[in-house]
Amino acid sequence: MTNQYRKSFNDWYDKLDKSQLTPPKNVFRIVWPILYTLMIISLIIIWNNKKCRPYCSPLNLFFIQLVINLFWTTIFFKLKLPKLALIMIVIILIFSILTFLTFYDISKMGSYLLIPYIMWLLFALYLNVYIVVNN
């Protein structure tokens, strides 16, 4: 991240009216690697399950939500479009819940590993809604 982009991001984000529940920035640096690790383990469990050989459609749901998730950061922080980001997070949440449900039929453990991610998405949805409503 360039210094100019970082300053622009900080100026914009810091000036937003945010929920009192908004965690400090360093919390995000801790939480996301944990969530992505759990998601990867879940993906590996499903992919290696005999019910999903050589490939199964629930993986499509997983990859769709993952791609949209990766775009969310750009839409919200770089393009500074919190309303569009809100729509995207709802879509991410829908696909994540569908992923959880379809993974459950293949491996309960594989699906359970997605619960912290879904919980964090619900929290992120709240934070995003708060920003849209109050800014």
For 17-37, how does the pLDDT look when each residue is reduced to its tens digit (9 = 90+)? Answer: 999 999 998 999 999 999 999
> According to the model, what pLDDT value does residue 25 have?
86
- Residue 87 covered by a domain: yes
Range of the domain at 119: 24-134
- Residue 42 covered by a domain: yes
- Residue 67 covered by a domain: yes
How many domains is the chain built from?
A: 1
> Per-residue pLDDT for 3 more than 70?
no
- Residue 51 covered by a domain: yes
> Per-residue pLDDT for 41 more than 70?
yes
Looking at residue 18, what DSSP letter applies? -
Mean pLDDT over residues 51-76, rounded?
Answer: 94
Count of Cβ atoms closer than 10 Å to residue 58 Cβ: 23
Residues shown for the chain: 135
Count of Cβ atoms closer than 10 Å to residue 82 Cβ: 20
Residue 96 CA, distance from chain mean position? 9
- Residue 12 covered by a domain: no
- Residue 108 covered by a domain: yes
Q: Which residue blocks in the chain are alpha helix, DSSP H? A: 3-15, 25-48, 58-73, 82-106, 108-112, 115-134
> According to the model, what pLDDT value does residue 53 have?
85
- Residue 4 covered by a domain: no
Residue 66 CA, distance from chain mean position? 7
pTM of the shown model: 0.90
CB-based contacts of 121, cutoff 8 Å, min separation 6 = 89, 92, 93, 96
> Per-residue pLDDT for 59 more than 80?
yes
Say if CB 128 and CB 86 are below 8 A apart: yes
